[in-house]
Structure 1
Amino acid sequence: MTLKAIFSDIDGTLLNSNHQITEETKKAILKVVNNNIPFILVSARMPSGILHLQQTLSIDSPIICYSGALILGPDNDNGEKTIIDSTSLLQTDVQKLYKIVNELYSSINISLYSHNQWVVSDSQNEWVIQEMEITNATPIHRQLPSFIEENHAIHKCLCMGEPQIINQLESTLKDKFANLTIYKSKDTYLEIMSGNVSKSNAIKKLENLYHITNQEIMAIGDNFNDMDMLKYAGLGVAMGNAPDEVKVIADEVTLSNNENGLKHTLQKYFD
């Protein structure tokens, strides 16, 4: 198999449990990039939560944000990232989502993401503070109904809460919104995007840019929202810390994110 591009998840894959890139993993990535193999970060994160990791790695490939709802390319003449593709939620769907969460699941924290803005109604909420610490992102405090009313391009809704409540919310929303992409990125996080958003669809949009096919792609990830890209790629690699449902659909399983599993896989195929 000739691999010509790598698409890597971030949390639980590139980063260890301390939310860090180890020096060993960084060296393995740079070795691949120096051999003209693009290393593309694919994440449910907002742009700023990905760009600082790109800088750490000294790479300048496109980034796939919000699990594919927003794809950004190199800087334009104004120093802003080029928008390669953008898929936002319908305003009416966001309004319905907010009403359901606000009225039926009051313990759930809901955030909205628009381009590089993370919008919250309570910046002191424990879930918001936790997400700030993980992603190094800073939220904007707004009343969410008025923000929704302004009809911004909302790429993602994030609901955070205790696992049992998140499971109940997931069931409710999937029953009411068959047209949306709804999944848990971990047991306390429920992510909601437009129905045609997925990591694999985003990868397809970059294949022409790199003149590659899916059979020439390695995808590596650790969670449920990575499953479609692992199945789509010519080589889909699940992390050792992935749930069994993810491992079973992958072509192979590497070590965990705390054992430099990404580095191990890169060395296996590119050394």
Structure 2
Amino acid sequence: METYKIVCIDIDGTLLNSAHQITEATKETILQVINDKQIPVVLVSARMPKAIIPLQKHLGISEPLICYSGALVIDRHGNKLNTRYIDTKMTQRLLDSLAAYDLHVSLYKDDEWYIEQLDAWALQERDITNIEPRIYSFSKLTNGWREETDGTSKILCMGDPEEINRVLQVLRPVYGEEVNLYLSKPTYLEIMSKKASKTAAIQILLKEYQLKQSDCLAIGDNYNDMDMLAFAGLGIAMENAPLEVKAVANTVTLSNDEDGVAYALKNNILFPK
């Protein structure tokens, strides 16, 4: 039986149930892994830092964070270990292309969320993450970023599944060599730097902890978790994951509404068979 030395867990659809909550069973199991086995548990998400830190505090853990699907890695003290931006010129090109579609578009940079209007999609995301967006003209925003040259950490598109899929099919052939485009759920299209991935971010932390690839256990549920699940020493997909995600994982646990994270940690770390 393999002995794992670091656990990387996706948040939405994995750590959180359908009510966007961490159950007591999951919390207790994670704390057992940390306290009894002395194994760090790292939250890995497409979310911004402000939308992850409250979950860390609720769990009572203090570890580095992987944000924006790997575009931002911060240590336990909030210092940046790595950043990968979509440069300002590419950000503007993407915004110009997205303007032709019936979508909500959000821009994220470091720990800020920008929107042009507070529509139903933004309200839904605000309710899920408990983060208040900043309403700001994107043209003014990108003009300001030109002076900094950094650009954006992530572009999030929200819309009906048919429209989201249509946009993905159009954008991927045009921009797929320059940026990463992922569905994090059927209604969410996430766009990050081509150099950003959950795997690349995990590799940074493995170096920090002086661990090997085989030491990592990762759990996730969606397309932006596929590289992480394929990379980890043990990649575990949630039962609620799409078939393509399950196909790259080593095994499948219960769903996020059945304490699948707790089940996976008990069977593979706390009480391995």
User: How does the TM-score come out when normalised to structure 1?
Assistant: 0.95
Q: For residue 32 of structure 1, what is the aligned residue in structure 2?
A: 33
**Counterpart residue identity of residue 223, structure 2:** F
> What is the CA RMSD across the aligned residues, in angstroms?
0.9
The correspondence of residues 117-266 of structure 1 with structure 2, limited to 5 A, is 117-123=112-118, 125-151=119-145, 153-177=151-175, 178-266=177-265
Q: CA deviation at 1:136?
A: 1.1
SS in 2 for 1:16: coil
1:254 and 1:240 mapped to 2: Cα distance? 6
CA contact (8 A) 2:3 2:269 kept: no
Q: For residue 78 of structure 1, what is the aligned residue in structure 2?
A: none
Q: Count residues in correspondence.
A: 263
2:269 and 2:169 mapped to 1: Cα distance? 42
Alignment equivalent of 1:54, drawn from 44, 56, 75: 56
Residue 108 in structure 1 maps to residue 107 in structure 2: no
SS in 1 for 2:47: coil
Q: CA deviation at 1:137?
A: 1.1
**Counterpart residue identity of residue 143, structure 2:** E
Q: CA deviation at 1:90?
A: 1.1
Q: CA deviation at 1:74?
A: 2.3
SS in 2 for 1:150: helix
* Structure 1 unaligned blocks of 5 or more: 76-80
1:259 and 1:162 mapped to 2: Cα distance? 27
Q: Deviations along 1:12-32, whole A, 9 cap, x unmatched? A: 100000000000000000011
* Identical-residue share of aligned pairs (%): 44
**Counterpart residue identity of residue 166, structure 1:** I
User: How does the TM-score come out when normalised to structure 2?
Assistant: 0.95
1:147 and 1:66 mapped to 2: Cα distance? 19
Q: For residue 83 of structure 1, what is the aligned residue in structure 2?
A: 80
Q: Deviations along 1:138-192, whole A, 9 cap, x unmatched? A: 1001001110111154100001111111111111211221211011111111000
2:17 and 2:241 mapped to 1: Cα distance? 13
1:143 and 1:97 mapped to 2: Cα distance? 15
2:217 and 2:151 mapped to 1: Cα distance? 31
User: Runs of at least 4 residues of structure 1 off by over 2 A?
Assistant: none
Q: CA deviation at 1:4?
A: 0.1
CA contact (8 A) 1:115 1:153 kept: no
Q: Deviations along 1:25-72, whole A, 9 cap, x unmatched? A: 000000111121000000000001100000000111000000000001
Q: Deviations along 1:220-269, whole A, 9 cap, x unmatched? A: 00001100000000000000111111111110000000000100011112
1:189 and 1:231 mapped to 2: Cα distance? 22
**Counterpart residue identity of residue 72, structure 1:** I
